[in-house]
Structure 1
């Protein structure tokens, strides 16, 4: 595998918490798609924009599966005025780049 699941999650966390987009930017494929809990989809540029201005954080990473092409697990999601939640994530990789990231939760 080109990048471990924990490394990928830490790239998201660093972008969201610190505004450091370099790792996330490098990890995402040009045609990357993010699908949120509501089923809405964002492209790479939109994701980098909201990650840079996020008012939420993710912690408590648990990895259920990782191989060359797929990572899956769960993490906490914490935002102001919302109860802390646990969400599942699924991501697909091709050629060492993340092509798709889906978050499942309530």
Structure 2
């Protein structure tokens, strides 16, 4: 069982910057071993990378089967590789493009 945290207002406020929707109050929060924050509210999740500039929106991921699956993807480094491979558009509902 993963140790999720209740709503984290400061993290949610950062995740909401530039977002089309807000992180809902029922979201579960989790900090990965590599310092990503995840707000999980199935079937969506907001993913906040550790070094994201303050004025850039976080990633909104849709379609992960579970929080555990998403955490595994991020902690393994595969998430960053997906972003680097431009596959981001296929797994993310934010409509943004990473260079």
Tell which has more relative contact order, 1 or 2 (C-alpha 8 A, sep 6+). Answer: 1
Answer whether TM exceeds 0.5 for this pair: no
Relative to total residues, which structure has the larger strand share, 1 or 2? 1
TM-score, L = length of structure 1: 0.29
